[in-house]
Structure 1
């Protein structure tokens, strides 16, 4: 269709340039031709309308409301009776000119001039320099009594001298070189107006008269529109496929939105659970640190225990030496009794401390303590396992959603966001698995420590029981020695045996204190692990918050995707509905366009008077005043010689012959 328009416009440009110079010749058939000359100022306002009626030889009767009538090429007498004009001529062609009193032409013409953005009158802009804009507009004049606007095409031409005008631009115009000037031509089809602009940079601006010529359109044009309508049918079929795809995309985005909602809810639950876990782990870490402090205090008593045992052993050695020398001292017996009491007290303290550790160190007590503080370890472990299962299911759903939109233009950001969420969910699964591993490790470690403490506690209980009897023996021995200083030999034997037995006891005490020291050192590793677990829990909390925020953003993106898919589905549905029957509409539109291009095939009517019924053609020639720099008196041309008929005619057209 574009090629057709360009071809027609070019043809019109050629056809309409010719009548602007000379009138159309009369044909051999009867009837007259009208050439309507319209003079306007440089702004397009009409100053006068003239008609040149062209007749053949013989008696002529014509009608028109004229103020002045004359024959241009004969000396025949013209009779004017109101609006009736009669004359008789022997000339093959008779040109009769009349000045019309009725000045309403079919078009309203407006030409405005702007320099550097400021509107100036034609008189003001003459000779000026700057950035020029000419706004050219043609509209229908509803005051005109005829329908020439809908059946006549116009050719408008402006001429700019390139010596004073540069960088000339005119959208929609044909620009041709004519000597050193540029001719800017516009074609206006019947029933159409124009609203355009010409721009240029000017120096001492002048412009010749603009011309607008109008002729009746009557072009016989036929085109084969089957190729166009076939393409439209293909287009409509393609739109139906796009609409089906858009509906499927909308359905899929709805499912994705539902899955995203579940993911968002699960992420929020996970975040709450991780925060509860972090709170419990913090309390666990604090409890382990307190237990470490108790073990440290217990370990600190080991020095007193070993020191007291060493004193007892030393005292026994001294008693043994004294008895062996058959000498004993009451003060030594008192020292021995006091030291034995201190050992008994120390053993009891150690046993009680070991019992407290045993009662609180086992994994069952740890779980009970956590439960009392609001954290169910078993539920946490089970919840982690369930969360891992749910997250793996959500990762699978996201992978499915990613496959649905991956590679679709316009969804690159949603694809990248889905990939990021899949990565973050995978990281969360690893954190939850590590968390369950930490819980299991804590259970194994605490159970191991609990077993060791239980063994130490059993040993201390036996030690306490044995030493209690030993202490009683020492007390009895001291009493006996205090009252009896006889049988020293037997006493010495007993002391020797006691000293030998106590050496074994002292070794057991040293082994016990060494075991407590190992427990303390081992428990310090548990404390360090608990602190690391607490630190990791903080990281898990931050990760779960980031995950929850990202999942929320993902859900918002999925919601936007769903809304966009819905709008796309609505739009494609609307497009499908509006393109239905488009082939028929295009055929009708082509017919309308061809109709406007062909013009009207109605009978040609007279512009001058409705009484003129035999009119072969009507033509309009519109000329504006030129824009000229005023001349000085010295520069005025001398008075011209007497003008011939053709000179008069050409002057009427405002055409200057060089």
Structure 2
């Protein structure tokens, strides 16, 4: 057998030996290390830390992963208190913070214990309260009651701030089944972990947080708090802001429409106020004319009565004589002419008042018709409040809208009265003019009669004409009395109408002022909201820049001398809460009997 295997051994030696012959042995220095230096392409650090129950640091060590691109002597740095090669049995040498060891091409691992030489970039303070009483973690084992756990995270000012500013903390607590009820937190997320519950908190880079959770616990046990710290692994892309921007644009367009509408409302209110003010001025002139007419009615009736009496006296006392004096008749004719002229002036004043009233009424009617009939629903008003617009401005808008609608309803109710004024003015003016024309004709007839007086025959005719004139004038006088009585009633009634026009004018002035103030407010609101889409995008960009750490270049946690650092991660855990298990009494085992013993006992039985 040995003779047959020998050729294979010789062949193996022949294949191996040439490789040693063609490669020169590396030089060895006095310390026993080869002179060939290796190269690292990248390095990863995972920092493991154990905390006490209150968050104070207990111990910390680092697992280093070295990606060796060229085999040889590798140099790394860190203030380690002890080292452990996790790849092979190669010896690791340490001088100060310099670590050296031989490594083959590929991946090499070693652990460096830091002891208390370094601190974490964060300070953790953990507080426990049971039924409102603060307790240490190790006092909670097996406890029952309402438990509250508070975790404070803050920056450690003594450590490189790049970790605090660029690392995200994830803090997880697991509660086992049957140890808790009504688990609550406003800061974290509660999720199922099999039969257990896990509460997870997230602390963004650069933030200091106070985190709380509470639960009703029974026979409490707790595995501790798990904390990981890593830089956000993904670049944060801007969310689809186009749809949001579209909504803001809709809001901006809506505010502009509101501003335009309020501008139209302001214009309409201004026109309404101008029209009502013109109406009030015209109404004041009309009222003045009515008052003057009503005030002069007594004098007019008295003058007419005097004329009637004079006519009767002249008619009764007229003598058929050549010596008769006709001067009194001339005075009668003059009085009739003056009365007719006064009535003509009154008729012209009423016609002018009617023209002014028609123009003012037209402006008021156009202004009122300019107020939209389409109602605004309560739902639309609530949507406007919910849009984020200034509540004071919206309140003014709603008040102005309500006032405008109220004014339109009031105007619609009073429109029939306004329409009737024109007819009244037309009838009174026409009646006054007709009365003036009658008096003028009467005066002209009297003048003609006086001019034709020539002898007794003419005086006889004059007597007959004066008798007829006296009789007809009595009827005219009775109509004049009725007219002046109606004028007095019209004056009294119109005073109330004029007072209402004044109140409407005053109210429209307030509405116009309110619409002006509202338009200023909606203008400012439109100006403030017109740039909302751009402001939103700027806020989104600023928020993303705060949390997007994709451009962060990791640095070594243990030494700034380390380069090509690919990743640095922190794995941190606090002590748990465990109940002491009762010691089990040792079980005495019966010594196993051998086959021969069993056989001997079998034959020894009786």
Q: Distance in 1 between matches of 2:134 and 2:542?
A: 42
When residues 200 and 364 of structure 1 are mapped into structure 2, their CA distance, relative to the original with a 3 A threshold, is farther
Q: Is the contact between residue 253 and residue 558 of structure 1 (CA under 8 Å) also seen in structure 2?
A: yes
Native 8 Å contact 2:53 2:126 kept in 1: no
Q: Shift of the alpha carbon at 1:176?
A: 0.7
Change beyond 3 A, Cα 1:35–1:383: same
Secondary structure of 1:193 counterpart: coil
Q: 1:37 Cα deviation (Å)? A: 0.6
Aligned to 1:433: 422
User: What secondary structure, in the 3-state scheme, does the structure 2 residue paired with 1:608 have?
Assistant: coil
Name 1:211's counterpart in structure 2.
226
Matching residue within 511, 526, 535 for 2:483: 526
Question: Do structure 1's residue 100 and structure 2's residue 110 form an aligned pair?
Answer: no
Measured against aligned partners, the alpha-carbon deviations of 1:157-188 in whole angstroms (never above 9, x if no partner) come to: 134578654272435x4321246653221344
Which of the residues 45, 51, 59 maps onto 2:61? 51
Q: Could you tell me which of 281, 287, 299 is aligned with 1:272?
A: 281
8 Å contact kept, 1:271–1:545: yes
Partner of 1:620: 570
Matched, 1:541 2:524: no
Deviation (angstroms), 1:50: 1.5
Equivalent residue, structure 2, for 1:144: 159
Q: CA contact under 8 A between 2:77 and 2:98: conserved in structure 1?
A: yes
Give the equivalent residue in structure 2 for 1:485.
Answer: none
Q: Are residues 400 and 38 of structure 1, via their aligned partners in 2, closer, same or farther at CA, if it must alter by over 3 Å? A: same
Tell me what 1:186 maps to: 201
Contact 1:361 1:446 in 2 (8 A): no
Paired residues of 1:360 and 1:366 also in contact (CA < 8 A):
no
Paired residue for 1:365? 342
> CA offsets per residue over residues 577-622 of structure 1, 9 Å max, x none?
769xx6xx899879958952x474x4662x2344566977643233
* Structure 2: gaps spanning 5 or more residues: 1-39, 67-71, 318-327, 385-396, 451-462, 586-606
- Structure 1 residues 359, 210: CA separation in 2 closer, same or farther (over 3 Å shift)? farther
Note if contact 2:252-2:526 (Cα within 8 Å) is conserved in structure 1. no
Secondary structure at the counterpart of residue 540 of structure 1: helix
Task: Report the equivalent of 2:47.
Answer: 35
Q: 1:168 aligns with which of 169, 181, 184?
A: 184
Deviations 1:417-445 (A, max 9, x none): 55645946956852541452253155157
Q: Which residue of 1 aligns with 2:558?
A: 608
Give distance in 2, aligned partners of 1:182 and 1:123.
23
| 2:348 is the alignment partner of 1:378 | yes
Deviations along 1:217-237, one digit per CA (max 9) or x if unpaired, are: 545x798x8x958x4899599
Provide the rounded CA distance (Å) in 1 between the counterparts of 2:526 and 2:486. 57
Q: Partners of 1:637 and 1:237 in 2: how far apart?
A: 63
Find the residue that maps to 1:99 and give its secondary structure: coil
Report the Cα distance in structure 2 between the residues aligned to 1:114 and 1:284, rounded to whole angstroms: 95
Counterpart-to-counterpart distance in 1, 2:510 and 2:219: 64
How many Å separate the matches in 2 of 1:296 and 1:114? 110
Shift of 1:382: 1.5
Residue 294 of structure 1, CA deviation: 9.1
- Structure 1 position 211, deviation (Å): 2.3
1:136–1:196 contact (8 Å) kept in structure 2: yes
Task: Supply the distance in 2 between the matched residues of 1:111 and 1:443 (Cα, whole angstroms).
Answer: 102
Rounded Cα–Cα distance in structure 2 between residues aligned with 1:549 and 1:112: 69
Displacement of 1:406 after TM fit? 9.9
Q: Deviations over 1:281-337 (max 9, x none)?
A: 23433443676689999999xxxx9xxx9xxxxxxxxxxxxxxxxxxxxxxxxxxxx
Residues 1:294 and 1:150: Cα distance change in structure 2 (over 3 Å):
same
Partner SS for 1:170: coil
Q: Give the structure with the higher percent helix.
A: 1
Partner Cα separation in structure 2 for residue 113 and residue 549 of structure 1: 70
Q: Note the 1:154-165 alignment, pairs <5 A.
A: 154-159=169-174, 164-165=180-181
Summarize deviations over 1:108-131 as a string: whole Å, max 9, x none. 445577999x9x75559977967x
Q: How far apart in 2 are the matches of 1:636 and 1:237? A: 62
Q: The residue matched to 2:230 in structure 1 has which SS?
A: strand
1:34-433 to 2 correspondences below 5 Å: 34-42=46-54, 44=55, 46-53=56-63, 64-65=78-79, 69=82, 97-103=113-119, 105-109=120-124, 121=134, 123=136, 138-145=153-160, 147-159=162-174, 164-166=180-182, 168-171=184-187, 173-178=188-193, 181-188=196-203, 191-193=205-207, 195=209, 198=212, 202=216, 208=222, 209-218=224-233, 231=242, 242=253, 246=256, 261=270, 263-288=272-297, 362=339, 364-365=341-342, 378-379=348-349, 381-393=351-363, 395-396=365-366, 399=369, 402=372, 420-421=407-408, 423=411, 430=419, 432-433=421-422
> Aligned runs of 1:408-557 on 2, under 5 Å?
420-421=407-408, 423=411, 430=419, 432-440=421-429, 442-443=431-432, 446-447=435-436, 522=479, 525-557=482-514
Give distance in 2, aligned partners of 1:114 and 1:537.
84
2:159 aligned counterpart, secondary structure: coil
Instruction: Tell me which of the two structures has the higher relative contact order, counting C-alpha pairs closer than 8 angstroms and 6 or more residues apart.
Output: 1
Q: CA deviation at 1:51?
A: 1.2
Q: Name the counterpart of 2:527.
A: 570
Counterpart Cα distance in 2 of 1:112 and 1:296? 112
Distance 2:564 2:473 in 1: 135
Length-normalised TM-score, structure 2? 0.56
| Residues 79 and 87 in structure 1, CA contact (< 8 A), matched pair in contact too | yes
8 Å Cα contact 2:282-2:357 kept in structure 1: no
**For the residues of structure 2 that align with 1:210 and 1:413, how far apart are their CA atoms?**
58
For these two proteins, the number of residue pairs brought into alignment is: 491
Residues 154 and 208, structure 2, Cα contact 8 Å, conserved in 1: yes
Q: 1:552 aligns to what SS in structure 2? A: helix
Give, in whole Å, the separation in 1 of the partners of 2:43 and 2:265.
Answer: 80
TM-score of the superposed pair, with normalisation by structure 1? 0.52
Q: Alpha carbons of 1:197 and 1:624: their partners in 2 closer, same or farther (altered >3 Å)?
A: same
Instruction: Give the distance between the partners of 1:616 and 1:281, measured in 2 at CA.
Output: 101
> Is this contact kept in 1: 2:262–2:518, CA < 8 A?
yes
Contact 2:41 2:564 in 1 (8 A): no
